[in-house]
Chains A and B, each alone.
Chain A
Amino acid sequence: MDSPTPHADVAARVPDRFVPVPTLQPGHSFASITDQISSIVLKRKTSINWWIGLSLAFCLVLLMLYSISALLILGIGIWGINQPVAWGLDITNFVWWIGIGHAGTLISAILLLLKQKWRTSINRFAEAMTLFAVACAGLFPLLHVGRPYFAYWLMPYPNSMLLWPQFRSPLAWDVFAVSTYATVSFLFWFVGLIPDLATLRDRSRSIIWRKVYGTLAMGWRGSAKHWHRYETAYLLLAGLATPLVVSVHTVVSFDFATSVIPGWHTTFFPPYFVAGAIFSGFAMVLTLMIPVRKVFGLQDFVTMRHLENMAKVLLATGLIVAYAYSMEVFYAWYSTNTYEWYMIMNRMKGPYHLTYVFLIICNILTPQLLWVKRIRTTPIFLWIIAIVINIGMWLERFVIIVTSLHRDFLPSSWGMYYPTFWEWSLFIGTLGFFTFLLLLFIRFLPIISIFEMRTLLPEAEAHHEEAR
């Protein structure tokens, strides 16, 4: 062809906004990707900021341990929960953390199956975030019981008394849902890491690290057989993980939906919770990814396209959540049920009305800004919106749990719930624990999947040479 392709001419006339932003900035080679990502772990000096961050996070870990010790020694009475609000910040935080964990599996599994290539640069990070969030989430149901030393009774294990958990209870389902989720998420994350661990093993100059990464890489040599098996396993795990995206939060929502309490007893809780979870999960990925991308100079790999895509997911799930909120109100009205309608009125006008107002501001009004492309593509705005959504989703769980419980059927039993220091300290402590684990992850493992990033290069295409 001696003349320029007509397409090039057309391309020149296409307005900028229709030109897709690449998922990988042009100009990279296999080597440069590997270098840049692995250098964060292998070459770069541990920055003083990392140390400061880790120290601060560790202080919060200590706060968490302190709060847990106080709880175990002094008893659950140190929390503000009471009769009628027997679940408070504990379950709020549990649901919030579990929700955050959702982005990981969604990005890893569903987007993989849907062949959304842009997921590649964020999945590793999102999966790690999922794991750490589930670890935080798991603490709360364990600690919120009156006798945590007997919490293992919720597990089905053979015993001389022939006692089993009660399988009619959503809490028993929770045990299975959350533990399965944690296991599969871990496997998925770890399997995905194996080729990169091998890369780190090969590139590491320290003998100790070579041993560590080598052990973790489980003898990966990158043979065609390995790749074949790896890909089969990864796809299978993705298939396994996919239903979990839906199941975990569905089961968590059953804790509420199967009860009789107005504000909980709602059939649409499962989809509502799943959408909310994805909403909050993506918000958390953005909250964390934007600063990490900046600090480690990963703009080439986590491009504006990623941020924008995630913003779009936020907008979409935000709209689902908004729909759920309005349906909650509509059905309370439509049912003509005294208790349901009072529950809604009480949420809007009762003593906790501010939480509801902020919930609407954070979760419904704020995400609407994402309709504007300029905001969607400005990391700082996106970051602020993501944080607001995180707060909003926390408030959502608080509103569902506390405002439903504090005034239910018999007005004589109505009460108020005020969280105590110990409830806040445990929550803040888990935030620190989460950050602590993330910082360790950033320092010791590749936060972006190296080998998958390499597949994004034009060179990875089978017919690359011919195209050239």
Chain B
Amino acid sequence: MSKQEHLDLASFRARLEHGDENRFWRSLEELSNDEAFDEFVKKEFPHESQTLGEGVDRRDFLKLMSASLALGGLTACTRPLQQILPYVRQPEDVIPGKPLFFATAMSLAGSSAGVLVESHLNRPTRIEGNPDHPSSMGATDAFMQASILSLYDPDRSQTVRYIGDPATYGDFLGALSQVLVQLRSKGGAGLRILTESINSPTLGNQFQTLLSQYPKAVWHQYEAAGRENVLEGTRLAFGAYVNPVYQFDKADVVVSLDGDFLTQGSGHLRYARDFMGRRKVRLDKQEMNRLYVVESMLTGTGSVADHRLPMRSADVESFARALAAQLGVSGGAPPSSSQADFVAAVARDLQAHRGKSIVVAGEHQPPVVHAIAFAINGALGNAGSTVYYTDPIEESPIPQTESMRQLAHDMETGAVEALIIIGGNPVFAAPADLNFAHGLERVPFRAHLSHYYDETSALCQWHVPRTHYLEEWSDARAHDGTVSIVQPLIAPLYGGRSAHELLGVMTGEANEAYEVLRGYWRSKLQSLDFEKSWRKALNDGVVAGSTLPVKAMAAGGTLPPPTQNPGGLELVFKSDPTIFDGRFANNAWLEELPHPMTKLTWDNAALVSPRTAAKLEMGTENYNGVSPLAEISYKGRTLQIPIWVVPGHADDSVTLHFGRGRTRAGNVGTAKGFNVYAIRTSDAPSLGFGAAFGNLKETRQLACTQLHQSIDVKTLRGERDIIRVGTIEQFRRDPSVVPETEENKVRSKETFYPPFKYEGYAWGMSIDTNLCTGCGGCVIACQSENNIPVVGKDQVIIGRAMHWLRIDHYYRGRPENPESYHIPILCMHCENAPCEPVCPVEATSHSPEGINEMTYNRCVGTKYCANNCPYKVRRFNWYSYSEYDIPGRQAIIKGESFKAMRNPNVTVRSRGVMEKCSYCVQRVNAARQEAEKGDRRIRDGEVVTACQSACPGEAIVFGDINDKTSRVAARKAQPANYGLLTELNTQPRTTYLPTLKNPNPEIKAG
């Protein structure tokens, strides 16, 4: 008490005067209310001040636990702060059980595609393409479909954090304004903002305002899998950034230089629609376009190619130059002897189709290849007919890698005082040599606006949760510049803030995204009635007249001299086809979506050709998904990654998909796969040389949905009539392409039981394999529509993936350069289904309209039907995958929030029941209700299955085959129409059209 002996009475008085006079107190010491008093109490009454940390006795423990339980229970009684009121008058359109559709747009890496979001009672449940949107045309890709899952992801950041601890947005704004005040006085010197590629005009405008207020601030942009090479290519070719737009519907001949324009990149859905439109070969349309592809890794585009030449990505430049030389473009170079014939043939073909051809380069190819492609298109007169240019769709494009390098440098030198990171995950995705994380920690003020509390957030002082695109107001440009208004479908689930709000705060202007957006468009829409045009834009999903005007670009400038090509083993860095640059790592649908070519799920691997694998002494086969682990030493960094053999991959080339191997992705995506970013450097973001491979003599078990990845149908001792292939020439000679043989013909359609009569509708499906790239959009569309669970890597390994629709991948020919075929397989809805008679409880039965229906409630789970299904399309709930109810197993998609996402019209299946494709019977029934109200038949096209709506190639058509005028009946009337395994007399309702190739007669096969 020595310290307290002289009580500071003056301070008590001061305290009392400060409004504490009504307080009760026991002693002067208590009144003083300082640490010393606490100390005193502790000494005097040690028993009272005992804390948990010092050990608890049993009674106290029980007391505490029961109290906490009771209090914990009380939290469940907390009521929402907002008042909720029942509808006094029902809003006109909100009818339980009837979904509404709202138009919005999803942006990815600087480009967007329009979507229609299905909303049940204000809960968005599903993404459809917007048919009125030029980048979507009604189609969707896997990323768009799966974005609905990310919306409800409970792992998304739910609170503002300061150094990891929960804080409030107010706290953040306070801290931010303090910093901004200081920086403003210096003209913004030291203020840096790092964003991804921005394709929102409003946000771009906000940035311009911000930069005018802070003239010395720098806006950095970085997109790990962006369009930098394309834009730099345009600058090389035209001296300015422009946006190339292709019109594949007008092209007879297409040459892809390591490009996967059908399944990836800006506008790929539209490109696939246009391109595949030229490959719909029917009796009345016996012609198709021709596609040449040179590429290292087999892609969806490469699978479709009429001629595919595997080559190292680094050799594509010399190929392009050789082609350019043949076409008289300056900067060309003679071809290598082995390619001379091929190049000459392609060049002649292009020459013959001047103005009707396209040469397109892959996004990961260096700018010079793009420049060559632009030059060739110019020389062929394609520019203006099949290719046109507009202003960039990105706001203020910059050389991003350079910008990032600058930022990293400035952070190291201490020139950066405040760094605001809007979106992106640079700590994970920035080039490894920039040492971004190290630099970041030297920045005094750093904040991160992002969807997840991720690797970058963890290194920033401030983290602000960001709104999902379905929760925010914004706008977005599509591949041709068309703008869509992004409208929210739901209030932010986790209290996120949009970039507009943050920018609004920083510029001191409106901080409501809605106001910012309307303010911008009020100035842009030169219309008499703004409200009317605004409502129309919201309704249509596109802003009328916003498409960027065509710019006439004269291909000027000379190409730089050929890049040094060191030869030897190359590393090719590409974004992951299912989780992109890592941003979808916590999306379980995408994690479990099989890689279109390798059929790997949950993991990435170093993809090599069989010959290269042998050369690296890494084995030549991945039996049962067991894969040898390699250590790649590259530029002083190492990466351990399994080797996966891909037939058709170029030799001496290793494809590495970056995006996996996250350390802070969330419950789903953390520590899944291998982090390729660890060796990706800024000087070689897509192509690198000098890697050394070490065999670690270890293996990794990868989860592959198609065990024998290199299934060559011909080696199976006799032909299996699964894939039918022909050429356009064959088609013209005999439109059945593959004539009926003794093996595959249906000998008799007789069955033991009386046949069904279909007097009303007879639903059927036709899949044109010629239009399929294997992209996987339909797989996720089906998963989303039908509440299909995710099972996890361990379950995929033992063969329990649940996808109702799978895309089988087969090769034909030599493993160095095989032909590659995709065939989507779903329930065939056989007229004479082997599954139906074997079920002892008749849980799977035939509807009067020919749909093979599963009655989940009746299913006992004998699995006999699955055994007897020759197509193996039946899926069994070995566990309660949607919601685990057993100890020791965790659902992959878990959390209350996901319940709101599920399609209310589809049952969520329980443990122990069989399930499979239902032909989206819920959609059939919805259409039936509409039709019956109007006392009419369901019209053709009124029922669109989920897979059909997603497919950009329009490979899938569904309808009533009793209606002879329907599209599906027309397809089935094609002589080439065939069913799988019809020799078993299953009489499948799902039938296929063969894949057709249009080879150049000048080029010998292979």
Interface residues of A (CB under 8 A from B): 73-77, 80-87, 141, 144-147, 150-151, 153-154, 163, 165-166, 168-172, 175, 255, 258-261, 338-339, 341-342, 345, 405, 408-418
Q: Could you tell me the distance in whole angstroms from the C-beta of B991 to the nearest C-beta in chain A?
A: 15
* B31 at the binding interface (Cβ < 8 Å): no
Q: Could you tell me the distance in whole angstroms from the C-beta of A5 to the nearest C-beta in chain B?
A: 66
Question: Which chain B residues numbered 739 to 789 have a C-beta less than 8 Å away from chain A?
Answer: 743, 753
Q: Is there contact, CB below 8 Å, between B837 and A83?
A: no
List of B residues within 8 angstroms of A408 by Cβ: 870, 872
* B268 at the binding interface (Cβ < 8 Å): no
Q: Could you tell me the distance in whole angstroms from the C-beta of A82 to the nearest C-beta in chain B?
A: 4
Q: Is there contact, CB below 8 Å, between B809 and A75?
A: no
Q: Is there contact, CB below 8 Å, between B716 and A411?
A: yes
Q: Show 20 residue pairs from A and B whose CB-CB distance is below 8 angstroms, ordered by the A residue.
A: A73-B886, A76-B912, A82-B800, A87-B867, A146-B877, A146-B914, A165-B840, A168-B838, A169-B837, A171-B862, A258-B837, A258-B838, A260-B984, A338-B716, A408-B870, A410-B871, A411-B711, A411-B720, A411-B722, A412-B825
List of B residues within 8 angstroms of A341 by Cβ: 717-718
* B65 at the binding interface (Cβ < 8 Å): no
* B188 at the binding interface (Cβ < 8 Å): no
Q: Could you tell me the distance in whole angstroms from the C-beta of A255 to the nearest C-beta in chain B?
A: 8
Q: Is there contact, CB below 8 Å, between B711 and A147?
A: no
Partner of A412, one of B810, B838, B889: B810
List of A residues within 8 angstroms of B877 by Cβ: 146
With A153-B858, A338-B720 known as contacts, the answer to whether A414 contacts B708 (CB < 8 A) is: yes
With A76-B912, A87-B867, A146-B913 known as contacts, the answer to whether A410 contacts B860 (CB < 8 A) is: no
Partner of A261, one of B801, B862, B868, B887: B868
Which residue of B713, B866, B867 has the most chain A CB atoms within 10 A of its CB atom? B867
Which residue of B706, B716, B872, B914 has the most chain A CB atoms within 10 A of its CB atom? B872
Q: Is there contact, CB below 8 Å, between A150 and B798?
A: no
* B446 at the binding interface (Cβ < 8 Å): no
Q: Is there contact, CB below 8 Å, between B878 and A75?
A: yes
Question: Which chain B residues numbered 848 to 866 have a C-beta less than 8 Å away from chain A?
Answer: 858-864, 866
**Chain A, Cβ-Cβ closest to B721:** A338
Partner of A260, one of B706, B799, B800, B834: B834
Q: Is there contact, CB below 8 Å, between A84 and B799?
A: yes
Beyond known contacts A166-B837, A416-B707: 11 more, CB 8 A cutoff: A75-B879, A76-B878, A82-B800, A87-B864, A145-B860, A145-B863, A165-B841, A165-B842, A166-B842, A405-B867, A410-B720
Q: When chains A and B are docked, how far (Å) is the Cα of A147 from the Cα of B584?
A: 35
List of B residues within 8 angstroms of A414 by Cβ: 707-708
List of A residues within 8 angstroms of B858 by Cβ: 153, 163
Partner of B912, one of A80, A84, A147, A345: A147
Q: Could you tell me the distance in whole angstroms from the C-beta of A94 to the nearest C-beta in chain B?
A: 12
**Chain A, Cβ-Cβ closest to B706:** A412
Q: When chains A and B are docked, how far (Å) is the Cα of A87 from the Cα of B866?
A: 9
Q: Could you tell me the distance in whole angstroms from the C-beta of B529 to the nearest C-beta in chain A?
A: 57
List of B residues within 8 angstroms of A411 by Cβ: 708, 711, 713, 716, 720, 722, 810
Q: Is there contact, CB below 8 Å, between B868 and A260?
A: yes
Task: Give the A-B pair count, Cβ closer than 8 A.
Answer: 182
* B806 at the binding interface (Cβ < 8 Å): yes
Q: Is there contact, CB below 8 Å, between A412 and B870?
A: no
* B880 at the binding interface (Cβ < 8 Å): yes
Partner of B874, one of A75, A83, A146: A83
Q: Could you tell me the distance in whole angstroms from the C-beta of B975 to the nearest C-beta in chain A?
A: 24
Q: Is there contact, CB below 8 Å, between B720 and A409?
A: yes
Q: Could you tell me the distance in whole angstroms from the C-beta of A157 to the nearest C-beta in chain B?
A: 12
Q: When chains A and B are docked, how far (Å) is the Cα of A80 from the Cα of B794?
A: 12
* B282 at the binding interface (Cβ < 8 Å): no
* B808 at the binding interface (Cβ < 8 Å): yes
Q: When chains A and B are docked, how far (Å) is the Cα of A418 from the Cα of B861?
A: 20
With A75-B886, A75-B912, A415-B799 known as contacts, the answer to whether A86 contacts B867 (CB < 8 A) is: yes
* B533 at the binding interface (Cβ < 8 Å): no
Q: Is there contact, CB below 8 Å, between B872 and A413?
A: yes
Q: Could you tell me the distance in whole angstroms from the C-beta of A95 to the nearest C-beta in chain B?
A: 14
**Chain B, Cβ-Cβ closest to A416:** B624
* B911 at the binding interface (Cβ < 8 Å): yes
Interface residues of B (CB under 8 A from A): 624, 706-708, 711, 713, 716-720, 722, 743, 753, 795, 798-801, 806, 808-810, 825, 834, 837-842, 858-864, 866-868, 870-872, 874-880, 886-889, 911-914, 980-981, 984, 986
Q: When chains A and B are docked, how far (Å) is the Cα of A202 from the Cα of B922?
A: 72
List of B residues within 8 angstroms of A151 by Cβ: 860
Q: When chains A and B are docked, how far (Å) is the Cα of A209 from the Cα of B911?
A: 48
List of B residues within 8 angstroms of A166 by Cβ: 837, 839-842
Q: Could you tell me the distance in whole angstroms from the C-beta of B598 to the nearest C-beta in chain A?
A: 13
Q: Is there contact, CB below 8 Å, between B866 and A146?
A: no
List of B residues within 8 angstroms of A76 by Cβ: 861, 878, 911-912
Q: Is there contact, CB below 8 Å, between B879 and A169?
A: no
Q: Could you tell me the distance in whole angstroms from the C-beta of B853 to the nearest C-beta in chain A?
A: 14
Q: When chains A and B are docked, how far (Å) is the Cα of A276 from the Cα of B193?
A: 78
Partner of A145, one of B706, B861, B888, B986: B861
Q: Is there contact, CB below 8 Å, between A410 and B980?
A: yes
Q: When chains A and B are docked, how far (Å) is the Cα of A261 from the Cα of B986?
A: 13
**Chain B, Cβ-Cβ closest to A167:** B840
List of A residues within 8 angstroms of B809 by Cβ: 412
Q: When chains A and B are docked, how far (Å) is the Cα of A30 from the Cα of B680?
A: 95
List of A residues within 8 angstroms of B798 by Cβ: 80, 82, 418
Partner of A410, one of B808, B840, B861, B911: B808
With A166-B839, A415-B707 known as contacts, the answer to whether A86 contacts B825 (CB < 8 A) is: no
Q: Is there contact, CB below 8 Å, between A86 and B866?
A: yes
Q: When chains A and B are docked, how far (Å) is the Cα of A418 from the Cα of B701?
A: 15
Q: Is there contact, CB below 8 Å, between B868 and A146?
A: no
List of A residues within 8 angstroms of B912 by Cβ: 75-76, 145-147
Q: When chains A and B are docked, how far (Å) is the Cα of A168 from the Cα of B867?
A: 16
List of A residues within 8 angstroms of B888 by Cβ: 74
Q: Is there contact, CB below 8 Å, between A345 and B841?
A: no
List of B residues within 8 angstroms of A84 by Cβ: 799, 866-867, 872
Q: When chains A and B are docked, how far (Å) is the Cα of A286 from the Cα of B796?
A: 44
Q: Could you tell me the distance in whole angstroms from the C-beta of B857 to the nearest C-beta in chain A?
A: 9
Q: Could you tell me the distance in whole angstroms from the C-beta of B690 to the nearest C-beta in chain A?
A: 38
**Chain B, Cβ-Cβ closest to A420:** B798
**Chain B, Cβ-Cβ closest to A344:** B717
Q: Is there contact, CB below 8 Å, between B800 and A147?
A: no
Q: Is there contact, CB below 8 Å, between B878 and A410?
A: no
List of B residues within 8 angstroms of A405 by Cβ: 867
Q: Is there contact, CB below 8 Å, between A168 and B753?
A: yes
Q: When chains A and B are docked, how far (Å) is the Cα of A86 from the Cα of B753?
A: 26
Q: When chains A and B are docked, how far (Å) is the Cα of A153 from the Cα of B722?
A: 38
**Chain B, Cβ-Cβ closest to A255:** B864
Q: Is there contact, CB below 8 Å, between B799 and A412?
A: no
List of A residues within 8 angstroms of B986 by Cβ: 260
Q: Is there contact, CB below 8 Å, between B717 and A338?
A: yes
Partner of B838, one of A83, A147, A259: A259
Q: When chains A and B are docked, how far (Å) is the Cα of A413 from the Cα of B599?
A: 12
Q: When chains A and B are docked, how far (Å) is the Cα of A151 from the Cα of B864?
A: 14
Q: Is there contact, CB below 8 Å, between A146 and B838?
A: no
Q: Could you tell me the distance in whole angstroms from the C-beta of B854 to the nearest C-beta in chain A?
A: 13
Q: When chains A and B are docked, how far (Å) is the Cα of A213 from the Cα of B901?
A: 66
Q: When chains A and B are docked, how far (Å) is the Cα of A150 from the Cα of B718?
A: 43
Q: When chains A and B are docked, how far (Å) is the Cα of A169 from the Cα of B838?
A: 4
Q: Is there contact, CB below 8 Å, between A75 and B880?
A: yes
Q: When chains A and B are docked, how far (Å) is the Cα of A468 from the Cα of B866?
A: 70
Q: When chains A and B are docked, how far (Å) is the Cα of A74 from the Cα of B880?
A: 10
